[in-house]
């Protein structure tokens, strides 16, 4: 694919719901965890607005108590991880068009970062099944920052590692907290409709997509001309 050599922006991707469409499987795992431990039934709305995009430790302390001891916390993390991986493993695949798009970005000389609230283990689980790690120049996980999304901290850290000014970055996100974080970072934001309908995402995004089939580096570059 022939691309312009004048593209100077960098791309920053969330992982869950953005690289892979795993939102329903995370929701299912949280529902199962809540039920097993006697918590009220978890609604989809509560998951999408208050849990999706938030580090697992923050969520567990919110619902299981801030004073939960370290051993129990680790056990709950492990249990939720097992529920999710057992359910999602057979269906793990990238969002349609992603691999071609990442290759197009690389061919255009665009730097790419992963900025996810998930853990290193979660990243390894995904990249262990689909070979995409080679496209990323930097990988930032939740434990590398002190403030969760919608704080812009994780995206600003990714931009710094890429050596790109925040205003020259474009963020790909699915969660409301992630979309807000991208805006708070002063970056262009592309919202993908894996978790929320377009009419919800459009309020927080410069561009809304269903997948990566029709996205090009040039289309992203046009966002910076507006």
Torsion angle of C-alpha atoms 169, 175, 180, 181, degrees rounded to 10: -50
Distances in Å between the Cα of 157 and the Cα atoms of 42, 106, 153, 213 are 32, 21, 6, 28
Cα 80 vs. chain centroid, distance in angstroms? Answer: 18
**Comparing C-alpha atoms, which of 120, 112, 100, 132 is closest to residue 216?**
100
Q: What's the CATH number for 10-21+92-223?
A: 3.40.50.1000
Map out the domains of the chain as residue ranges: 10-21+92-223, 23-90
Tell me: the pLDDT tens digits for 64-110? Answer: 999 999 999 999 999 999 999 999 999 999 999 999 999 999 999 99
Distances in Å between the Cα of 70 and the Cα atoms of 57, 73, 76, 106, 180 are 10, 5, 10, 41, 31
CATH number 1.10.10.10 given to 23-90: no
Strand partners, 190: 172, 207
Q: Which two tokens stand for residue 14?
A: 């969330």
Distances in Å between the Cα of 129 and the Cα atoms of 134, 181, 221 are 13, 28, 31
pLDDT of 6:
62
Cα–Cα distance, 9 to 218 (Å, whole number): 11
Q: Which two tokens stand for residue 31?
A: 């529902």
Cα–Cα distance, 34 to 29 (Å, whole number): 9
Angle in degrees, 0-180, between the axes of helices 56-64 and 70-88, rounded to the nearest 10: 120
Q: What is the pLDDT along the chain (226 residues), one digit of tens a residue?
A: 444 446 899 999 999 999 999 999 999 999 999 999 999 999 999 999 999 888 899 999 999 999 999 999 999 999 999 999 999 999 999 999 999 999 999 999 999 999 999 999 999 999 999 999 999 999 999 999 999 999 999 999 999 999 999 999 999 999 999 999 999 999 999 999 999 999 999 999 999 999 999 999 999 999 998 7
**Comparing C-alpha atoms, which of 165, 147, 149, 144 is closest to residue 204?**
149
Q: How many C-beta neighbours within 10 Å does residue 91 have?
A: 11
């Amino acid at each position: 694919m022939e691309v312009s050599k004048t593209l100077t922006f960098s791309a920053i991707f969330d992982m869950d719901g953005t690289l892979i469409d795993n939102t329903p499987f995370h929701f299912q795992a949280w529902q199962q965890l809540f039920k097993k431990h006697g918590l009220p039934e978890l609604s989809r709305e509560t998951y999408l607005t208050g849990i999706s995009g938030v580090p697992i430790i923050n969520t567990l302390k919110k619902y299981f108590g801030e004073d939960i001891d370290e051993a129990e916390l680790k056990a709950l993390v492990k249990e939720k991880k097992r529920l999710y991986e057992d359910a999602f493993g057979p269906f793990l695949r990238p969002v349609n068009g992603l691999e071609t798009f990442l290759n197009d970005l690389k061919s255009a000389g665009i730097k790419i970062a992963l900025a996810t609230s998930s853990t290193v283990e979660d990243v390894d689980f995904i990249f262990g099944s689909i070979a995409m790690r080679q496209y990323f120049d930097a990988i930032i996980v939740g434990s590398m920052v002190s403030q969760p999304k919608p704080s812009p901290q994780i995206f600003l850290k990714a931009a710094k590692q890429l050596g790109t000014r925040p205003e020259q970055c474009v963020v790909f996100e699915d969660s409301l907290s992630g979309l807000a974080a991208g805006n708070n970072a002063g970056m262009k934001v592309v919202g993908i409709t894996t978790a929320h309908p377009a009419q919800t995402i459009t309020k927080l995004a410069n561009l809304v997509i269903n997948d990566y089939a029709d996205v090009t580096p040039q289309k992203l570059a046009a966002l910076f001309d507006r």
